[in-house]
Structure formats: structure tokens, C-alpha cells
Structure 1
Amino acid sequence: MTAPIVEGMTTTIIASAAPRPPTTRTRLALLATATAVGSIGLAAGGLAGPLLAVELTGDPATAGLPIGVHVAGSAVGAVLVSRVSARDGRPAGLALGYLLGAAGAVIVVAAAAWAGLGLLLLGSAVFGVGNASVFLARYAAAATGGPATRGRALGIVLFAVAAGAVAGPNLLAAGGTLASAVGLPHLTGLYLISIGSFLTAAALLGALTRASERPAARPAVRRAAVAGTGVPVRAVVLLAVTNLVMVGVMAVAPVHLVAHGHGPALVGGIVSVHALCMFVPSILSGPLLDRVGPAVVTTAAALLLAASGVVAAAGSDDGVALLVSVSLLGLGWNAGVLAGSALLTAGVPPQDRLRAEGRGEVAMGLAAGGGAPVAGLVVASGGFVALGIGAAIVVLVVAVPVAVTLMERFGEPSQG
């Protein structure tokens, strides 16, 4: 009898010594913290990149080049991160994206030190992969939360992005001081900060990677049955249109404000309020999504985005009216991204979600890449009034029908 007793005790000791997988709350906390830290690095691509290009070349026309390749790198990065996530798990894929983003920042710093525009563009493209990880983290949160609390989990991680939206741009001066202290050009400071933030985010996700199981092998799935639901297509369309309208308007709004005599303080304040409206409401809109369902939130997004365009057209020269417009725009973007992300997760079988999520992120990136230049052409030909009316029309023609079809499909708040 002694041997079985000893064997049983040994098995118990080994089992108790094995690392326990993290709880849902722990996983969500680590994801949110990594996203908050990683999002601080986003300001470098959107703020310092254009300034650095102009400083290197002396030509203002090059300001848009780093953003263009950054968006392209983010789109390609979304596919890469999704594929690695499907093979090695979501934390591993997201961590790889952050590591590549940090490598891109290093390349940009080298480009600034050696005055090379080509190297700057290469670094900006690789840096964009970190951007992909920041925004793909919301899908990892949705998978962690499960159907009943999917909206809440999405909201928590999207709310975490507010940390970077608020803190990142305000670190420009501090980053410049850091760069000057180590003998580098002033504008590389935000990239130095982004290196630290991306590496820290990757380390936090590394804790999840070590504790997570590898994904199970993908079973055979009848593609026709998956595609027949129509929900994934509607979700991608909703995500793309939401980003198209937001990026298009905000790409030219600051320039329009300055051209009409508004000072930097007002312009900066309006942009900051818009950024806060994009992310901060997630802590409330996420749980609301769980309660009322994706169809209602999609309808709210369409109405908010359309109202933003109407207000912009009606008060295109008034700073207060534009403040209201971009606030509605941020709230509409928040609702549209939450609803679209939840629909994409709920409307695709688990074994196909990562691929679908990557396509959704690519669609958002392409919309962003096309929205800015198209908005510039619209404003050049018809003014900001035409842009506001055009944005409202796009929403009414595309997003509202999506909301109507979802209302017909989803009779209950549950997202599946």
C-alpha cells in the first residue's frame, strides 16, 4: 500500500507546483496595461514623423510620407500579427508586433542621426506594426471576456488606449530633452519613448505568452456556411466606414481651423477633446453594448457620425460648432468600432476569428489611408461644408443600411 500512497502524493505535489493559467481578470488586466503602455508610443508616428520628414528634407510636401507608410505598415502588420497569433497564441502575436514596432523606432532614430529620408520611411513602415498590436489587442480582450461580457472587455482595452492618446502628444517636449541629453536630434525623443513603451508592452504580454496554451489545430470548416451569415462582411464595412469618416474629417480639421484664424490653443484643445471622445467613453459604451446589443450601438454610431457631418457643415467657420462636431465624431467612432469589433468576433467561428480580425484591421487601415487625401480634395473643391455633407451622406448610404439589417437579424441583445 505504501507505493500507491507515495505515488499519489508525488502527483499531487507536481500538480500543485505547476503554474496555474491566469484568471480572466488577470489576463484582461495585463492586456489593458500592455495596451495603455504601448499606446504611448503611437504619438511618435502621427506627430513626430511628419515633423522629422520636413526637418530632414526642408520640404513641407514630405510631411505626409511617414504617415502614409506608417498606415501601410500597420495594415501589413495586422496580417502578420494575426497569423502569428493563430499559430502561437494572441499574446505572442501582439508581443511580436510591439517588438517590431520598437525596431522600427530604432531605424527612425538612426535615420534622423544620419539624415536619411529613405531610412526614415522604412522605419516608419516597420513602426506601424506596433500600431497594429495596439488596436488588435481589443480582439484578444473580446476573446477573453466571452459572449456575455464581450462589450465590457472590448471597452476596457479600448479605454486603455486613452492613456496614449492623452499622454503621448504631451511628451514631445520631455522626449526632446531626453534626445538632446544623449546627443540625438530633438524630434527623435518621442521615438526613444516609444521604444521603451513598446518593449514594456511586449514584456507584459510575455507573461501571458508563457502562461497560455498554444492554439488548437484548426478543424475543417465549411466556408460557405461561415460566409452565409453576412455578419462578418457587415462588420468589416462598419469598421471601414467609421474609420474613413473619422480620419477624413480629422485630417483636414486642424488645417481648416488655423486657416480661419483660430489659435494653436483652441486647435489643440479641440483635437484633444476629439481624442478623449474616441476612447474614454469605452468604459461605459462597452457594457452598454452587452446590454442593448450590436444593432442598437451600430444605429447610435451611424446617427452620431451623420450628426457630426451636419453640424460641421452648418458651422464650418465657428470654433464652438466644430468642437461639437468633432466630439460627436469621436463618440460615433467609439460606438462604430466597438459594435464592428464585437460583430466580427461574434459572427465568425473561433478557428476563423484571427484571420477575420486581421482583415477588419486592414480594411480600417485602407480606409484611413484613402480618407485623408480624398478629404483634402473635397475641401479644395467644395470647402469644409462639402466635407461635412459628404461625410453625412457616406454614413447614411452605408452605415445606416448596415444598422437596419442588423436590427432585422439581432432580436436580442446577446451577441452570440
Structure 2
Amino acid sequence: MTTAPRIDAVFDLDALLTPEERDWQQRARAFAQERILPVIEEDFENAHFRRELIAELGAAGFLGMHLTGYGCAGAGAVAYGLACLELEAADSGWRTFVSVQGSLAMSAIAKYGSEEQKQTWLPRMATGDAVGCFALTEPQGGSDPAAMTTTARRDGDGWVIDGAKRWIGLASLADVAVVWARVDDPALGEGGRAVRGFLVPTATPGFTATPITGKLSMRASVQCDVALDDVRLPADAILPGAEGLSGPFGCLNEARYGIIWGAMGAARSCLEAALERATGREVFGKPIGANQLTQAKLADMLLEVEKGILLALHLGRLKERGALTPAQISVGKLNSVREALEIAHQARSILAGDGITNAYPVMRHAANLESVRTYEGTDEIHQLVIGRALTGLSAF
């Protein structure tokens, strides 16, 4: 499904983009429409992750596309956001894959890794030859990483990691895991009693990733429980540039930025489906789109899509200038996901009974967005981040 001409007539986004940004968007849209949309309903139904698309995403330049060097495309923040928008317009699971690979795992290595670590992993991850995951969240809760119980201790010249992680995207497919653990090693100076990151090849004995079953959301992607039992690593497995929670948070903010754009892709897809239905289905002798209440719903949906994308664009320009703050990222993530879910609900009402079937993408998007609303910070966490920025007082 292409972007509805009537939407473009009201919202001319292209006028605000550079030719390079439009090119990235069109390439991502083509990939989504040609490689994901024809199979996504079947994959969602069967809880199947189509691993063969990973190399294709790499060949198209989407993996770590916002990073520079090591085989990465070096695209701007807005171009990356537009790619996220188009991929999530197909399915949140595929934007999530690009986000976990590029914004979390690859960004952690690029930001905090040694030159040897970067050379070892980033080129392979950019092509999709190697897959990474980001192991931060633990079974007892994800919103308080300062309370993590996973530990890394010195053992001779190396490290031993013990603990458990949950809801770790791609872990059972990954070749390397970025694992965050609490250490107590005075030899590391002030950073020796803090959270540190480690690169853990997933073939290491003691590392076990088990896909989580029974999901009613994000069914075409993979999330796992991870067990770390006496995982032994060499001394150089530690990420030298990351000390404390600023390390994982720096990566989470990269992923949250992609969500700001991506959720608007899901929202646009729902609006397109509702618009198609409103202009194509007749009730009481006329298209349902000719009724005032239906037009009011469509207008409100378009309003929030346009506002959300314009906010994402503003934040992208700030990011390109190096001026984007965590509180601003929280504004974008909170707004985009919350409004995308409301748009999905309104679209379902226009689709009526057929809206609960897989003849339309709306219920799939709504289910996926419930997960997107939770990961990379819940609504409540982002409200508290914004509240702290407004008042100067922490309510955490």
C-alpha cells in the first residue's frame, strides 16, 4: 500500500526533506512494501521471524545506517528516522530489528568499544553477517536498571558473568550480546564499582537464550530470556568507554529516537487503511467517509500523524546539531506511541467488524504498539523524565 494521495495533499513532508533524505525514505518504503508486507500477516500469525531478510537489510545499508565508518552508511538522523518510519509502517518487529541491531548493539560498540572491538564486529554487523543483541532488562523489572543483579567478577586475567536478563530482542539469533552487569573491581578505579558493558559471543559456554512464547504482540520478531551461568570472558571483553548507567542510557536514547519516527509509521498505516475503507465502503447509500463523524475521526487521525512527524523532524534536526536532550527524546517517544495507539483504535472503529481481521493491518499494529509503549521506557517513566526537566525535582 502506497501513501494515500489524499494524505500527501494535506501534508507535504517532502518539501521539508533533502534529496538524500527522500531517497533513504523511498528505499525503505520500497523494501517494506516488496519484502515485508507480502508476508507479514502470515509471519505474525505463525510467530515467524524471517531471518533471510537480515542480509537484505544489510545490503540496502539500513543496519547501523546512522553510524560512520566500519562499513556503515553514515546517514543523518532524519534519514535514519524516515527509514524507521517506513519499516514500522510495515511492522513494528522489523523496525525493532533495525533498532536493536543498529541503535543498541552497534551503537554500544561504536560509542564505547575499543578499536579492536569495532573492527571485529561493526563491519560484519553492518552487512547482517553478524547479529547483535543488547542485554540490559532483568526479570524483576526493566524500569530500574540501577537495581540490576547480574554481576561480573574478576577471575585471574578474565571475567565471569552470572545473572539473568529478560525481553532481550534477537538474543537467540545473535552472534554477540552486549551484556550490562554490575562489577566490583577496584582495579578499574572509580568505574570499578558500577554498571559496565561486556561483549559476549553467544557461543560462550553458560550463555543461553530462550525465545519467549505466548506473545500476542510482536509475533513476527524474537524476544528472549537470557541466562548467564558462569560465563567466562577474556579481559578485553569489557567495553572500555562505558562506565555507569550513562553507558546503556546513551544507547537507549538512540533506540528511543528511532521509535519516535517508527510509531508514526504504524499510525500512518492505520490511517491509510481507515481512509481506504471510508472511501470504498457504502452504507445507507453513500460512502461512510461522506458522514461527518467519520470525517471528524479521519481529520483527527491525520492531525496527530502530521504533528507527530513534524515533532520527529524537529527532534531529528536537533540531533543532527548535537543539541537533542534526553527530556526532548522522552517528549517524542511518549507522544508518538500514545498517539499511534489512539489512531489505531480510531481506525479500527472505522473498519468496524472487519477491523479485527488480518485483512487490515490495524489490529496487528495496535498489538505491536502495546509492546512499543512498554519498551525503551514506559509512558510513566517518560512522564517522570519530562516532569523532572520541568520542575528540577526527581520523582523517581
TM-score, with structure 1 as normaliser: 0.31
Greater RCO between the two (CA within 8 Å, min separation 6)? 1
Larger strand fraction of residues: 2
Max Rg structure: 1
TM-score, with structure 2 as normaliser: 0.33
